[in-house]
């Protein structure tokens, strides 16, 4: 039973990573690594509408909080709307930064849209 859960989690992670690669292919703009601390990575790339796609990637063996400052990913506004691209839902407006809990070997993909 446990091995099937591990396989399902691994398969989910692979699918999410492939989705992130697909987004890159569709956009035609390569993202770049913003940070990598203790196997917790933040990648970001600009989108055509002025927003930024941000990938939070947890390579560690345990669940972890991963975050970023808006300025570090190219957002000049102090307020931004964060949209979870997996669930297709808006998470709300955040000020200056965003933090998410990411499961082990998993990915969170968000779109950051600066407020006018």
Q: What is the pLDDT of residues 56-115, one digit of tens each?
A: 989 899 999 999 999 999 999 999 999 998 889 999 999 999 999 999 988 899 999 999
Per-residue model confidence (pLDDT) at position 7: 46
* Helix H or strand E encompassing 32: strand 32-37
What does the block give as tokens for 23? 């987004």
Domains of the chain: 2-114 (2.60.40.1180)
What SS3 state is found at 46? strand
C-alpha 24/C-alpha 45 separation (Å) is 8
What does the block give as tokens for 71? 């300025």
Per-residue model confidence (pLDDT) at position 19: 55
Residues 6+ apart with CB under 8 A from 60: 38, 39, 40, 104, 105
Render pLDDT for 1-33 as a digit per residue (tens, 0 to 9): 445 454 445 555 665 665 556 555 545 566 788
Say what the pTM is: 0.78
pLDDT category, 48, cuts 50, 70, 90? confident
């Amino acid at each position: 039973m446990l091995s099937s859960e591990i396989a399902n989690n691994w398969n989910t992670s692979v699918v999410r990573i492939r989705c992130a690669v697909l987004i890159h292919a569709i956009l035609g703009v390569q993202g770049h690594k913003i940070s990598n601390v203790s196997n917790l990575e933040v990648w970001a790339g600009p989108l055509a509408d002025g927003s930024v796609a941000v990938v939070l990637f947890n390579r560690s063996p345990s669940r972890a909080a991963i975050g970023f400052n808006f300025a570090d990913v190219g957002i000049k506004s102090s307020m931004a709307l964060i949209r979870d691209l997996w669930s297709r839902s808006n998470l709300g407006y955040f000020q200056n930064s965003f933090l998410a809990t990411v499961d082990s070997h998993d990915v969170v993909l968000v779109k950051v849209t600066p407020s006018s």
